[in-house]
Amino acid sequence: MDLESRTNGTAVIEFILLGLVETQVLQPVVFVVFFFAYLVTVGGNLSILAAIFIEPKLHTPMYFFLGNLSVLDVGCITVTVPSMLARLLSNKRTIPYGACLTQLFFFHQLAGVDCFLLTAMAYDRFLAICQPLTYSTRMSQTVQRILVAVSWALAFTNALTHTIAIATLNFCGPNVINHFYCDLPQLFQLSCSSTQLNELLLFGLGILMAGAPVILIVTSYIHVAAAVLRIRSAEGRKKAFSTCGSHLTVVGIFYGTGVFSYMRLGSVEASDKDKGIGILNTVISPMLNPLIYSLRNPDVQGALQQVLTGKRALV
């Protein structure tokens, strides 16, 4: 234990994740529900991805970003849910210190890319509706790839910074996390050393990672709304707004849950509520995204029908 303390700067070599329920009777129910949710989420997002590949109408920048978003949704739920299911099966609630930090890193990496991709999608809608004549040149394939690459690079920097910062903290007990995956607020509560700098870092980077994208998204949609309202025909306005509705719904769910997760640091009483927010972040949101984007989009619906049945939908 002393050797571990000197090597890693911590006396804790593993954490105990309490999970969603502590009652043995309810654990099989939780396993079935979340296993089903995992299959639906992975299946739904991979179906969206396949639909984008096979349908020429969907070979546009908006759906290029949506395809990347589907990959992120699969990754986000895979980082958290399978390990939770494995612990339910084995009745083993412990997670090694290194595995906990690894989970934290990948969760923040994927969530960070999500932030910037949603911003890129808002920028895409701004160009398509407000500047249609220059849209094809301003949103070329090269620009799309640069936006995705920059999103991954910025998110990697953010995730690595938080992981290194949390690794400098001392954990000398207790080691019980009242959650089903490792995240910053819960680890801050367990540290025996001061987390003030870590919390300031989370706040500062949070402004860059979430605040700046939100400002850009809101600014884009202010211009979009102004442009749409200038359209004379009601049908034209409806069509323009319908292309933005799905994206705005996803943005609202993603940022709404994120604000509640990270703006209430130090609140031990909120742990049970954090579980619910964590479910929204890692399970519900990735599961709903394919439904949100396909519900009112006939092109996506037709492509999904072709993916699922092998037959092209009649138009």
Select from 174, 190, 176 the least CA-distant residue to 16: 176
pLDDT digits (tens, 9 = 90+) for 218-228: 999 999 988 88
Whether residue 140 is contained in a domain is answered as: yes
The alpha carbon of residue 81 and the mean position of all alpha carbons in its chain are separated, in whole angstroms, by: 13
pLDDT digits (tens, 9 = 90+) for 190-200: 999 889 999 99
pLDDT digits (tens, 9 = 90+) for 257-287: 776 666 555 454 545 667 877 888 888 888 8
Looking at per-residue confidence, does 276 or 127 come out higher?
127
Question: Could you give the percent of the chain with pLDDT greater than 70?
Answer: 89
Whether residue 43 is contained in a domain is answered as: yes
Range of the domain at 211: 14-309
User: How does residue 295 score in pLDDT terms, banded at 50, 70 and 90?
Assistant: low
Whether residue 150 is contained in a domain is answered as: yes
* CATH number of domain containing 257: 1.20.1070.10
Whether residue 262 is contained in a domain is answered as: yes
Whether residue 93 is contained in a domain is answered as: yes
**Residue type at 41?**
T
Whether residue 8 is contained in a domain is answered as: no
* pLDDT of 143 over the 50 cut: yes
Overall domain count for the chain? 1
* pLDDT of 177 over the 80 cut: yes
- pLDDT computed for residue 311 by the predictor: 65
The pTM of this model reads 0.87
Whether residue 2 is contained in a domain is answered as: no
Distance CA 285, CA 248 (A): 13
Whether residue 248 is contained in a domain is answered as: yes
